[in-house]
Amino acid sequence: MIIDSHVHIFPDRIASKAVAGLEHQYGVSACGEASVRGICSSMQAGSVDASVILSVATTPVQVESINTWVAEISRNDARFIGMGAMHPDYQEIEAEIQRMRDMGLKGIKLHSEFQHFLPDEERMFQIYESLGDDMVLVFHAGDEVIPVKEIHTTPIRLSNVLDSFPELNVVAAHMGGHRCWDDVECHLLGKNIYLDTAYVYPVPGHEHITVERIEEMIEAHGFNKVMFGTDYPFRDQGQEIHNIRNLGFDEKHLEMILGTNAARLFSVDIS
C-alpha cells in the first residue's frame, strides 16, 4: 500500500486562487490541480492508494469550515485520510478537537510561518493537551523555499515539545526541518517523532540536500518513523514514488516508508 502523507487540496471555488497565491509567494509551480478531482487523477496516475489531506487555517474563523469540508470529503472517499485545521487564536480548542474526533478526522496540521507561533511557547500547550495520545499533530518544519527571516518551527523547538509531551503523536514535515539538516541530525534523529519526505528530494533548482544524506538521515532516525510525502500539488506523486524507490534500501524498508508507517500512525486498515 502506498500512502502519500502530505497532500494539499482546496474546495473547487478557491482551489485555483489558493494555488496561484502560493505559486506567487514561493516562486514554485504546481504540477496538478489542487482539488478533489485533481488529487484523484494524480493518485490514479501514480498508483497511490491513499492521501493524507492537510489543511492550514490562516485565521481562527476558518477552522470550523475547513474541518467540516475535510471530514465530508473523507467520508465520501475512503482514499482520503482527513486531517483537521487548528489556529493558536481559536477560542474553543478542546471542543473543536473533540468535534474532529467525532467526524473521523485523524489530527491537525499547524504551520508556524502562516500562523505566527513558536511550537514550544506556552500558549500552544492547550492544543497539545487536547490532542491527547490518539490524534496526530503535523508541523510544517524548517525554512521555506524562499528563505524566511526567522524560522519558527526549528528542530530544537520541536525537541522541546517532545520532551514536554512525550505521548503526543508528532510528524515533522520536510524531514524534520527543511534546510535545517544539521539541526535535524543534532536534535531530532532517533527521537519519538515521525518525519515525512515532502518537498525534500533534490530536483534542479531545489538541491538543498543530497540523496546520500537523505539515506543517512533515514537510517539514523529509523525506518519505522519515516513516511512518504509529496507536498502535492507542488511535487508529482508518481515521480516522488520513483525517487523513494531509487533510494538504496531493500523492499521491506521501502514498504515501510511508502505506506506501512503511515497506515499505523493514521490507523488505516491495510488487511
Q: How many residues does the chain have?
A: 271
Q: Assess if residue 96 is contained within a domain.
A: yes
In CATH, what number is assigned to the domain containing residue 118?
Answer: 3.20.20.140
pTM attached to this predicted model: 0.96
Does 103 fall in a domain? yes
**Residue 12 within any structural domain of the chain:** no
Helix axes 63-76, 93-103, angle to 10 degrees: 10
Task: Please tell me the predicted confidence (pLDDT) of residue 271.
Answer: 63
For the chain, list residues with pLDDT below 70. 271
Instruction: Count the Cβ atoms, other than its own, within 10 Å of residue 67.
Output: 24
* Average pLDDT in the chain: 96
Q: What angle is formed at CA 117 by the lines to CA 116 and CA 122, rounded to 5 degrees?
A: 155
Residue 147 pLDDT: 73
- Residue 19 within any structural domain of the chain: no
Distances (CA, A) of 29 to 69, 102, 174, 236: 25, 36, 18, 11
Residue closest to 144 by CA, chosen among 192, 84, 203, 208: 208
* DSSP element (H, E) containing 108: strand 107-110
34, part of any domain: no
pLDDT in tens, 164-194: 999 999 999 999 999 999 999 999 999 999 9
> Is residue 162 a part of any domain in this protein?
yes
Task: Please tell me the total count of domains within the chain.
Answer: 1
Q: Please say whether the beta carbons of 196 and 6 come within 8 A.
A: yes
In-domain check, residue 149: yes
pLDDT at 269: 82
CB 210 within 8 A of CB 223: no
The answer to whether residues 198 and 6 touch, using CB atoms and an 8 Å cutoff, is yes
Model pLDDT, residue 263: 98
Instruction: Determine, yes or no, domain membership for 43.
Output: no
Q: Which domain holds residue 183?
A: 56-78+86-227+240-265
What whole-number distance in Å separates Cα of residue 15 and Cα of residue 42? 15
